[in-house]
Homo-oligomer: A and B are copies of this chain.
Amino acid sequence: MFFLKELPTRQMLEVYKKRFPDMKMDTVESALRLLRQASLLLRILDAYFTKHDLSQLRFLILVVLDREIDRDWLMASEVAARLDVSRPVMARTLKTLSDDKLLDFDEHDTDGRAKLIRLTSKGRWTLHEVLPGYYREIEQFMVSSQDGGTP
């Protein structure tokens, strides 16, 4: 997350520009705007997920499992490969999702190490219940920040 409430803005960047003349003000400014925008949206989405007993990662795991077209399962390592998260975090989160009955573990036929992950019907149902509101939050945010947000 990124936290600066009032972006550094011209004035401050000018000061640093004097000290570090190489800095490209416009580029830096738009990068900071990008980070600020994203962190605002992330807060909104996190709040939305929390209401539904989910989190970014929990939600994305469901999405990744649901969007698989040719199979109804993935190996844990495949889930991890599709999401940019460390393996221990993945393991822990899969465990809590399984505790909550949103997904099931199964054994691999031929690979004794692997675990197959499958959405339960509760998992699929939860995802489909959450998705419309997710899109709505995103759209509202994008509209409301059309002009830059703060007047």
Residues of A within 8 A of B (CB): 1-6, 8, 12, 15-16, 19-20, 22-24, 27-28, 30-31, 34-35, 37-39, 41-43, 56-57, 60, 63-64, 67, 81-85, 128, 131-132, 135-136, 138-139, 141-143
Q: Tell me the complex Cα distance, A15–B8, Å.
A: 41
A30 — which chain B residues lie within 8 A by C-beta?
142
Number of this chain's copies in the complex: 2
- Cβ-defined contact, B5 with A82, below 8 A: yes
Q: Is the CB of B22 within 8 A of A56?
A: no
A94 to nearest B CB, angstroms? 14
Q: A27-B139, A141-B31 are in contact. Are A4 and B82 (CB under 8 A)?
A: yes
> Contact at A60–B22, with CB atoms within 8 Å?
no
Most buried by B among A8, A31, A37, A42: A31
Is A3 a contact of B142 with CB atoms below 8 Å?
Answer: no
